[in-house]
Structure 1
Amino acid sequence: MNKSGLLARAKQHRVFGALLPEQQTALTDRMECHVHPAGSEIARGDELREYLRWLLEGEVDLLDKDGDTVVSLRPGDCFGLRLGLGVGATSAVARAQAQTATVPAAFANELRDASAAMRYFLPPAHNGVPAAARDKSTVGLATGAPSAAGGGGDTAELNLMTSPVRALVKRAPITLPPETPIVEAARLMSEQRVSSVLITQDEKLWGVMTDRDLRNRVVAAGLDIQQPVSAIATQAPMTIDMAKPAFDALLLMARHNIHHVPVLDGERVAGMITATDLTERQSTSAVHLASEIYKKTSVEGLQTAAAKIGRLQQSLASAEASAYSTGHIVTAMTDAITVRLLQLGEEKLGKAPIPYVWVAAGSQARSEQTAKSDQDNCMVLDDSYDEARHGEYFKALSQFVCDGLDACGYVYCPGDMMAMTDTWRQPRRKWAEYFSRWTGSPDPKSLMLTCVFFDLRAIHGDAALLDGLRREVLDQTKGNSIFLAYMVGNAMQHQPPLGMFKGISTIRSGEHKGTIDLKHTGVVPVVDLARVYALAGGHEAVNTTDRLTSAAAGGAITEERSRDLRDALEFLAYTRIQHQARQIASGDKPDNYLNPDEVSNFERSQLKDAFHVVQSLQNVLGQRYQAGRF
C-alpha cells in the first residue's frame, strides 16, 4: 500500500484518526507495509515489543507459549509494543494472508508521549510499578475500548474480555463414571484437592458433583456414602466452550449463582473453572455480589446488596472496562435482584398457579444498564390464564417485585410500563394482539410502545412463552416499509446535541443548563437506529452493539458504518459511565448530564465526532425510508 493510501486509512482509524494531521503524516511516513502468507509467523518474543503493528488486511492470531490462540485480531486492530502480553501472548501468526503496517517502538513511544490520543488508547512501556506487576497489564487492543494499562486501576475486567476460557483451565479434567460410589468420589476430590468432579458417560459430560453436594445432599441428609454419585450430582449442568471469552464465564456465574462451570472443547470435556479461578484475576466482585444477592431473605437485605452496585460500577470505571462489558455486568446484578424478588414473592404467596415469564424491557433487556436506571418490565402469562382464578395472585406477585425493585433503587417507570400495571401483565395471546395492533397502526403511542416492548429479555420463568412471540413480531416488521418509515421518524426525535455550525450544543436553560444529556441525546439515538435495523432485517439480537453487528452481516448497513456506530456508542456510553463514577465517588447521585468543561479537549473532540457519526447515519436512514411514509 502506498503512503497516500496508508494516510487515508489512518485518517479513518479509531486511534490514528484522532491524531493531528501532521502527526498522522509523520506516523505513516515511518510505517512500512508487509505481506504475511497464511500460517506464517509475524513476530515472536521480544520482537512483539520492537514494533507497533497495524493490521490492514487479513486475520492474525496472538498465540501463547503452548501455541494456543489467546486473541484473534481483525483489520484495524493494533498489536506489538506491550499489547497482548497481559494474556500470555508470545507470538503473532497470520491465520489468513495478512498485510500489516509497522512503525518502530521508539517512534511509536515518542508519538504516544506527544499525543493525548495515543496515550489514551495505547499502554505506556512503564507506569512506575515493578516489572513483575507491569507484565500483568491488560491486552489493550486499540479498537475502541480504552486500555487500562497506566490508568492506575484494576485491569481485571478487560483481561476477562480478551482472555479465552481456556486460559483459566489449569489442569486436565478430573472425571468419574455415574456409578462411582460417593465415598470414592469424595476420596478422589480430597487427594486431588479439588472442589468438584465431572461425571462423564461414553466420553460425554453427564453431570457435575461439588463439595456443596457432599455437604447438603449426603452429610446433611444422612445419605449412604456407598450410593452412586449419580444420586447427588447435578445432571446436564450449564457449560461454556473453551474458546469463549472468560467474561462470558463471569456472566454465567453471576446470572445463575453458580461457582463451578464445566469447560467443553466441542463435545469433549476439557476441564472445569471455578469462582476461585476468577478470583485470581481479581474479577469476582460481580460473582460474589450476585451470590450475596441470592442469599438475602428479605427486601431490606436486597437493599443492602443493591447499594453495592454503584461501587461495582465505580470499580469497573476505575479499571477502564468497556461500556459493553460494564453494561452486561451491572445488568447481571439487576437480573439477580429481580430473580431473588420473584423467589421471595413465591415463598410468600405460594407457587404460581400457571406458567409465566417475567420479562425485562428497555436497558435491562439490552444489558446496557448503569447505576442510574429505572425499571421497565412486564409479565407474559400462559394462555390458560383466567382472571377470576389467577388474577389476584399475579397482581400481588408483580406488585411485590416492582415495589422491591423501587426499594432497591430501580425507581418506578414514569410511564407505568411495569408488570404491576394490569395492561402489561397479560396472557401470551394478548401480547400477540398488542404487537399486531402496534405494527399495523403506527400512531405515535404505538411507536413508543414498540420501542419499549420490542426490547425484551426473559429473566425468570418459562422463557418459551417469549421466544415465539418475538419471532412473530419480526415477521410482521421485516419489509414493512410504512411501519419502518414511521419508526425512523420516531427515532429522529432524539437528535445529537450539535449546533448550527456542528459544535456541541448544551442545554440552554433549567436545572441542567450548560450540560449535555448523554443518555437521551447520546446513547438513545444509537439505540433507536439499531432497533430499526433489527426490525427491518428480522434480527433477534437485543443488545444494541449486537444488533449493529447483525445489521452489517445482513447487508442493511456497511461494515464500516456499523463499526463507526459501534465505536460511537462505546465512547458515548463509556463517557457516561465515567461521569457517573465520578459522581458516585463524590457522594453525589449519578445522572446523565455532563458539563463538557469537565472533560479534556481530546474527549470533547471525540464526543463531537461521535455525535457527527450518529447524525450522519440518522440522515441516511431517514432518506432511505422517507418515501415509504407518504
Structure 2
Amino acid sequence: MPNALLPNIVDFISKVDPFDKLPTELQQQVAGMIKISYLAKGERLQLDGEPDGHYLHIVHTGAMEQRHHDGSLRAKLGPEDSFGFTFLEPVKELFRGYSAVAIANTLLYSVPHQQLQPLLADHPDSALHFAASAQERLFSAIRVKWSSRDKGLFVRKVSDIASNQVVTVDANDSIQQVAQQMRQQGRAAMAVVLEQQQIVGVITDGDMTKRVVAAATDIQQPVRVVMTSKPHLVDPDELVISAVSVMMEHNLRCLPVVRDNQVVGQLSSSHLVQNHRVQALFLLEKMKTIDNRQQLIALAIERQAVFEALVEGKVNAPVIGKVMALLMDGFNRRLIELAIEQLGPPPCEFAWLVAGSHARQEVHYASDQDSAIVFSDDASDADRDYFLALGQWVCSAMAECGYASCDGDFMASNPKWCQPLASWQQYYREWVEEPEQNQLLNATVFLEVRSLYGQANFCEQLQTLLFDQIASNSGFLPALVQTAVAVQPPLGIFNKLVLEKGGEHSNTLNIKKHALSLLIDLARIYGLAVGCRRLDTEQRFVSARRGGRLDKGSCKDVIGALRFISQVRYEYQLKRLKQGLPVGNHISPDAIGSFDRSHLKDAFRIIATFQESAKLRFLG
C-alpha cells in the first residue's frame, strides 16, 4: 500500500461502520492492510479459495449485488456498505451462502482475514463491532452513543446547510438555452423553473437525457415541455433529516428550498457532508435494500438505538417525534412495497393513509398503528379483497416490527377502514353532520390523516371535504369541545397527583389519557377554528395565535406544557427500555424526581385552564 494513499483511506474508513467505532490508531493499522481492487460491471468477486484469500470488503464507489446460491437476491450494496463479516466464522464456513457481482463499475477496499483477525483478538472491545452474527452487531449498535456533532443533525434546519444561491430559468426559455445555462453555471444536478417568480417545476440533467435526448425532442421548444412538474420541495425551516428522507425516498440529488412558493435556495447531496450521516439516516437507507419481511423485522431493533440517542442527547420533543415518525414511515412504506411484491400489483389506484400520532409526526417509542386504505370507486369485489389482504399483511408485519396493533382496531386490516373513496367521503359527512359520541371517536382518529403511499390526491380530497363540512356545520366544534373537556388533568385536592386505582397500572399516571391527549384535542379544536391544515399539535397552537384565537402568552404556556410532558414521557420510556421493562404511557410518580413532579403539576394546571377557556369560547 503506497504511503501517499493512507490518509485518504483512513479518512474514508473513519466514516464507515464499523470502522468508525475503532480508535484512530487501529483505523490507521487497518488502512495499512487494505487491498484496493477494481471490478468492471458484471464482474464476479472471487469469494472462495484458501484462507488467505478471504476479506472483509467495503464498497468505495459503485454497486454490488449479492445472490444466494438458488439465485434469489440477498442484498444490494452501495458506497460505504460492507460485506464479508462471515470471515470471522471458522474457515470451513466461509462464503458458503452467497455470490457477489458488480452491477456497476466498482472500487473495493478489502481487509485480509489473516491480518485483521489477530488485531481484533488483541482488542476485544473493538472486535464486537465486527461480529459475524448480524444480531450481535445490532445489539452492539444499541450501545453506541452519538457524538454531539452527530446529534446536531436532528436540531438543524435546512436553511443552516442549504445553499442560498438561487439559480432559475424562465419556463418559456428554450431547452437549448437552459441546457447551455446549466452547463455554464455547473448546475447539472438541478435548475429551477419559474414563472412570474412562482416555482412551477424543475429541470435536471436526468430530464434532459430522458425527455430530450432519448425522445428526440426539439431543443427549440420551451423547457416547460420537458421539466418535472409538481417537484418535491422543502421549507427552509424543515429539519434536515426530513429533507434527506424525501431525497432518499425519491432518489433525488437536489431539493429546491421554497418559502411562500418563492425559491430561496437549494439543498443538494453535496451539502450533506459525511459528518451529517447518522444512524437514523443509515437505517432509512438500509430499509430500501431489504428484500423480505423477516429481514425488516430483524432490522427493527435498531430504532431503539435511535430513540436512546435522541432522548439522551436532550433533543427537544417535537424533533424526537418527527425522527421516530420518519422511521415508522420507512418501515411502513417498505412493508407495503414488499406486500405488493408478494400479492401482485394493485388492481386500481389506492392510497395508504396513516392517522393519529403517526400522521401528526409525534411518534414515541410505544406508538401503535392507526392506518387506512382508500381505493378507487370503480373497484370490483375482487379488488376489495386484494386491498383487505394488503392491509392485513402490512399491519401484521408492522406489529412484528414493534408497532403495536391499535386497541380500537383503527387499522387498514379492518374492512371498515379499507374502503373506496366515496365511502370515506360519506364517513366524513356523517361524522361532521351528526357528531354523536360514537361518531366522534371515529372522527377524532381520522381527523388527522397523511398519505404515506399511493395516490396522495385521495387524502387531499378528504381533507378538503372535511374543512368544507366543518365550515358549514356549526355544531361540530362544540361537540369536539364537549369531548375534550370531559376528561380532567390528574390533579386533586391540594394539587396532589391523582393516580390510577386498581388493575395492572394501579398507582400510576396515564400521561397520554390525562395530559397529552387533552392537549392534542385542544390544539385540534383551535386549529380547525382558524382553518389550519397543519397536523402537528404545536403548529396548530401557533396558527391559533396568528388567527387571533390565542394570545402570545397563552400560546407560549401551552406549548411549554406540551414539550415538557412529552419530554417526561420520552425519558420515562428510555428508563424502562434500559431496565428491560415494558414501555407505555403509565408513569409511576416515584420513578421521576421531585423537579419533574412539580413541573408536571404546573403543566396540568395549564391544561385545566385551557379547558375552561375552550368551554367559554366555543360553548358560551
What residue in structure 1 maps to residue 551 of structure 2? 558
Q: For each residue in 1:571-629, what CA deviation from the matched residue of structure 2 results, as whole angstroms up to 9, or x when unmatched?
A: 111111121122223333322222223333222222111111011101221233445xx
> Secondary structure at 1:478's aligned position in 2?
helix
RMSD over equivalenced CA pairs, Å: 4.0
**When the two structures are aligned, how many residues end up with a matched partner?**
461
Counterpart AA for 1:313? F
Please say if residues 190 and 254 of structure 2, whose CA atoms lie closer than 8 Å, have aligned partners that are also in contact.
no
Question: Cα distance 1:428–1:507, how it changes in 2: closer, same or farther (>3 A)?
Answer: same
In structure 2, which of residues 496, 502, 515 is the aligned counterpart of residue 503 of structure 1? 496
In structure 1, which of residues 323, 329, 332 is the aligned counterpart of residue 326 of structure 2? 332
Give aligned-pair identity as a percent.
27
Deviation at 1:365, TM superposition (A): 0.7
Please say if residues 359 and 457 of structure 1, whose CA atoms lie closer than 8 Å, have aligned partners that are also in contact.
yes
Equivalent-residue separation in structure 2 for 1:266 and 1:396 (angstroms): 41
What residue in structure 1 maps to residue 203 of structure 2? 207
In structure 1, which of residues 590, 594, 602 is the aligned counterpart of residue 583 of structure 2? 590
Q: For each residue in 1:406-431, what CA deviation from the matched residue of structure 2 results, as whole angstroms up to 9, or x when unmatched?
A: 12111222222111111111111111
Deviation at 1:360, TM superposition (A): 0.5
In structure 2, which of residues 596, 605, 616 is the aligned counterpart of residue 603 of structure 1? 596
Equivalent-residue separation in structure 2 for 1:411 and 1:288 (angstroms): 24
Deviation at 1:317, TM superposition (A): 0.8
Equivalent-residue separation in structure 2 for 1:273 and 1:242 (angstroms): 9
Q: How does 1:60-459 map to 2 (within 5 A)?
A: 154=148, 156-157=150-151, 160-169=154-163, 197-198=189-190, 206-208=202-204, 235=228, 238-240=232-234, 246=240, 248-253=242-247, 256=250, 258=252, 260-263=254-257, 273-274=267-268, 277-278=271-272, 280-282=274-276, 284-386=278-380, 388-459=381-452
Deviation at 1:570, TM superposition (A): 0.9
Equivalent-residue separation in structure 2 for 1:287 and 1:188 (angstroms): 33
Deviation at 1:522, TM superposition (A): 2.0
Q: For each residue in 1:143-176, what CA deviation from the matched residue of structure 2 results, as whole angstroms up to 9, or x when unmatched?
A: xxxxxxxx9963655565354535344999899x
Counterpart AA for 1:292? K
Deviation at 1:506, TM superposition (A): 2.6
In structure 2, which of residues 535, 540, 550 is the aligned counterpart of residue 547 of structure 1? 540
> Secondary structure at 2:203's aligned position in 1?
strand
Please say if residues 168 and 193 of structure 2, whose CA atoms lie closer than 8 Å, have aligned partners that are also in contact.
no
| Residue 531, structure 1, aligned to residue 527, structure 2 | no
Equivalent-residue separation in structure 1 for 2:486 and 2:248 (angstroms): 37
Deviation at 1:442, TM superposition (A): 2.2
Equivalent-residue separation in structure 2 for 1:584 and 1:474 (angstroms): 41
Deviation at 1:369, TM superposition (A): 0.7
Equivalent-residue separation in structure 1 for 2:194 and 2:435 (angstroms): 56
Please say if residues 361 and 457 of structure 1, whose CA atoms lie closer than 8 Å, have aligned partners that are also in contact.
yes
Question: Cα distance 1:163–1:447, how it changes in 2: closer, same or farther (>3 A)?
Answer: closer
Deviation at 1:397, TM superposition (A): 1.4
Deviation at 1:242, TM superposition (A): 5.2
> Secondary structure at 2:190's aligned position in 1?
strand
Mark the runs of 5 or more structure 2 residues left unpaired by the alignment: 1-144
Please say if residues 157 and 236 of structure 2, whose CA atoms lie closer than 8 Å, have aligned partners that are also in contact.
no
Question: Cα distance 1:298–1:257, how it changes in 2: closer, same or farther (>3 A)?
Answer: farther
Please say if residues 572 and 607 of structure 1, whose CA atoms lie closer than 8 Å, have aligned partners that are also in contact.
yes
Equivalent-residue separation in structure 2 for 1:171 and 1:616 (angstroms): 47
Q: For each residue in 1:87-128, what CA deviation from the matched residue of structure 2 results, as whole angstroms up to 9, or x when unmatched?
A: xxxxxxxxxxxxxxxxxxxxxxxxxxxxxxxxxxxxxxxxxx
> Secondary structure at 1:197's aligned position in 2?
coil
Equivalent-residue separation in structure 2 for 1:411 and 1:266 (angstroms): 38
Give the TM-score, by structure 2 length: 0.65
Equivalent-residue separation in structure 1 for 2:460 and 2:557 (angstroms): 31
Q: For each residue in 1:242-269, what CA deviation from the matched residue of structure 2 results, as whole angstroms up to 9, or x when unmatched?
A: 5655454345346656564455699998
What residue in structure 1 maps to residue 453 of structure 2? 460
Deviation at 1:539, TM superposition (A): 2.4
Equivalent-residue separation in structure 2 for 1:506 and 1:244 (angstroms): 38
Question: Cα distance 1:367–1:618, how it changes in 2: closer, same or farther (>3 A)?
Answer: same
Equivalent-residue separation in structure 1 for 2:496 and 2:247 (angstroms): 44
What residue in structure 1 maps to residue 77 of structure 2? none
Counterpart AA for 2:427? Y
What residue in structure 2 maps to residue 62 of structure 1? none
Counterpart AA for 2:298? T
Question: Cα distance 1:451–1:269, how it changes in 2: closer, same or farther (>3 A)?
Answer: closer
Equivalent-residue separation in structure 1 for 2:293 and 2:227 (angstroms): 30
Equivalent-residue separation in structure 2 for 1:289 and 1:602 (angstroms): 35
Counterpart AA for 1:408? C
Counterpart AA for 1:350? G
Equivalent-residue separation in structure 1 for 2:290 and 2:569 (angstroms): 31
> Secondary structure at 2:503's aligned position in 1?
coil
Question: Cα distance 1:473–1:258, how it changes in 2: closer, same or farther (>3 A)?
Answer: same
> Secondary structure at 1:240's aligned position in 2?
coil
What residue in structure 1 maps to residue 109 of structure 2? none
> Secondary structure at 2:506's aligned position in 1?
coil
Deviation at 1:444, TM superposition (A): 1.5
Mark the runs of 5 or more structure 1 residues left unpaired by the alignment: 1-150, 218-222
Question: Cα distance 1:254–1:527, how it changes in 2: closer, same or farther (>3 A)?
Answer: farther
Equivalent-residue separation in structure 1 for 2:564 and 2:545 (angstroms): 20
Counterpart AA for 1:370? H
Equivalent-residue separation in structure 2 for 1:440 and 1:318 (angstroms): 46
Counterpart AA for 2:190? L
What residue in structure 2 maps to residue 470 of structure 1? 463
